[in-house]
Amino acid sequence: MKNKYQKKSHISEVKFRRVLKCFSVDIPATSAAVLVGLNRKTTQRIYSLLRNRIVELAIQEARPFVGDIEVDESYFGAKRIRGKRGRGAGGKTPVLGLLKRQRRVFVSVQQNCSKA
């Protein structure tokens, strides 16, 4: 049976899920090996791969915007009424947006858009 979780693996998907379940319940790798019926070194390698993946995801969450980022500021609100234009126009809400290409988008409504 092919394992969709780990490429080029000789472990079945069912056994991998069992090891993953043991990992999530915080069972040591040696005990998990006995429960699942795998070699101790195999379960330790899988545990190590899972820990490394958790660290990768934690690092991505800690700094979500790394690399090329686009920043833009826009004003949303009523159509232009005679008088002030641009930043000083009344009734408009300033919005700041950050975009990492093909990844995450961060948008926030700005309360104060002064130069400072």
Write the pLDDT tens digit of every residue in 37-55.
999 999 999 999 899 988 8
Residues ≥6 apart with Cβ < 8 Å to 87? 75, 94, 113
- Does a structural domain hold residue 114? no
Q: What pLDDT does residue 30 have?
A: 92
Do 57 and 81 fall within a single domain? no
- Does a structural domain hold residue 2? no
Q: Are 99 and 109 in contact (CB under 8 A)?
A: no
- The boundaries of the domain holding residue 85 are 69-109
What count of Cα atoms within 13 Å lies in the side-chain half-sphere of residue 30? 0
CA angle 77, 80, 84 (to 5 degrees): 105
Residues in the chain, overall count: 116
Residue that the structure tokens 């126009």 belong to: 89
Number of domains in the chain: 2
- Does a structural domain hold residue 8? no
What is the percentage of the chain residues whose pLDDT exceeds 70?
A: 76
Global pTM reads 0.54
Last residue of a domain, one of 62, 77, 99: 62
